[in-house]
Amino acid sequence: MPVIESPMGLPSLLDLLSSQVVRIALASLFLSGIGALIVDHVRMLRLHKKMPPGPLPLPIIGNTHLLPRNKPWIYFEQLSKELNSPVITFWIGRNPTVWINDAWSASELLDKKAAVFASRPRMVVFAELTGMDQSSDVHAKKPGSNLVTMYYGDRWRVHRKITHLGVGLQQVREYRGFRTTRVVSSLTNYCERPKSIVDPIITEVIAVMQKAAELNVPGKSFPMLFESFPWLTNLSPTLFPWMFQGLGKRRRGQQFFYALAEEAHEKDPNSPCYANQLFDEQPKYGLRTDEISSLAGNLFGAGSDTSSSTLITFVLACCAFPEVLPKAWEELDRVVGHHRSPSWDDKPELVYIKAFVKEVLRWRSVAIIGGQPHAPISDDEWNGYTIPKGTWTQGNVWAIHHNEHEFPDPDRFNPGRFLKESPDARPFPNDKGYMTFGWGRRVCSGQGLAEQGTFITIARLLWGFNIQKALDEQRREIPVDIFNYTDGLNMRPQPFKCRFTPRSAEVRKAIEREGRQALEDLSVYDGESERVAEFFSRNKQEA
């Protein structure tokens, strides 16, 4: 029987069919991708119309390309003015974020609606990539461990309650004696010569805290680009180490604080210190190791970097605006005199000093975007606009504290703004006159402690010293730049030179006399942490 051959061999036919199938599959995949992209962008545009004003988001990238390299809070302030809206929407990748740029809107949303804006949004960089899961349910597969990032819920309430055991308004009054003694000993150092005391352990921990503070400022470079494109977190840190650089240090910091708390508890389990309170509460609430670590570490991290930055800002203000000092000295001389330093009993009469402290907190607030973002626990309405559940909602403290309506000539350091009889005073939605410590149920837990410490330190520095610009070799004053600040979430002045001069011989003698007593009182705290030193030595060997 004759064989009839096809003009095209069977293998060739199969190859052709296979290539056509591949082309069809690729075309279908491409069209599906385009379709999904269109559908997603339509979703973004529909939501964009419902939310407060903002630039039109592009597919996938949103408005990320518009972010400046540095200090985005200034950009959001300007954008708010251009759009003539105190509340604006800015898309970070496919997700909208809301930025509040005036005090009255911040009060309406974050204070008056505190129960609604009580949660946190998903934070890819600050929480997930640094090992802090956000769930507020202790029974969840990965329960949250840190009050700062935790979603609102029962576990958050437990952490807040335990934190108040250490820094609640009633508790911080008991620290006044220690804080006063510590400030006095510092004054002695300035009187002799400014000293640089470097503890390698504390230095590294503060460096970790400063790094963490940089991980919540919107940006278009790594690691903050993860916030715009969360899928990038699926990439391997081994293959792309430059993308994940520095994020692992946060985990070591968590281990450090547990070691520190455990050592303090074991050395003296009966002392009234916060570490013992944590271990006392552990059985009642089933606190895990990582929870004890975060509860201890939050107080250190929130208080160390922020307090020091505030005091450096105070020194900068004294150098840049020396005209505000004589009135402070007049009040201190009248109320206190030169024979002793200010005490807590003097506070009611130190009206100008209290205003001075408030202006420091207002002029260059450390947590320049109000700390960590809020998120509504349900959809909310503002002036006819919708803010969807879970939306990243941030108070722009820079814009709030530099609004010309509340603070005319806002870059001028002027304590008179906080004196009721002053023509510079303006209405403000809260009694304090500033929003440095956040809002609502997420207000900084350590606000009372920070305000207390800032007052006594500034009062005593103003009483003790004339703080001035440094002099060059020709005895000319070296200028200072009031805008030269760091870019992180907790901003501080870049290094500058200054000089401290005791205000009188009598003041100097009082500082030296009180300083000797303070050093004696503080001697009970002398010593080093053996376990923590071993911990850091081990980590360096493993690194």
Please, which residues have CB within 8 angstroms of residue 200's CB and are 6 or more apart in sequence?
536
For residue 217, what pLDDT is reported? Answer: 79
Residues in the chain: 543
Please, which residues have CB within 8 angstroms of residue 64's CB and are 6 or more apart in sequence?
91, 92, 93, 220, 225, 228
Distance CA 18, CA 9 (A): 14
SS3 370: coil
3-state secondary structure 234-268: HCCCCCCHHHCCCCCHHHHHHHHHHHHHHHHHHHC
Residue type, 249: K
Percent residues over pLDDT 90 in the chain: 61
Q: Select 99-141+154-215+246-368+395-542's CATH number: 2.60.40.420, 1.10.630.10, 3.40.1380.10, 3.30.590.10.
A: 1.10.630.10
Residues with pLDDT less than 70, the chain: 1-11, 13-17, 138-139, 141-142, 179, 182, 184-185, 188-215, 236-254, 528-543
> What predicted TM-score, i.e. pTM, was given to this entire model?
0.89
Distance CA 380, CA 388 (A): 6
Q: What region does 433 belong to: left with phi over 0, alpha with psi -120 to 50, or beta?
A: left
| HSE toward the beta carbon, residue 442, CA cutoff 13 A | 31
For residue 178, what pLDDT is reported? Answer: 73
Distance CA 140, CA 378 (A): 21
For residue 305, what pLDDT is reported? Answer: 77
For residue 252, what pLDDT is reported? Answer: 60
- Rounded to 10 deg, the angle between the 505-522 and 176-192 helix axes is 130
Q: Are 176 and 449 in contact (CB under 8 A)?
A: no
Domain boundaries defined on the chain = 99-141+154-215+246-368+395-542
For residue 176, what pLDDT is reported? Answer: 82
What is the DSSP track for 76-115? HHHHHHHHT-SEEEEEETTEEEEEE-SHHHHIIIIITTTT
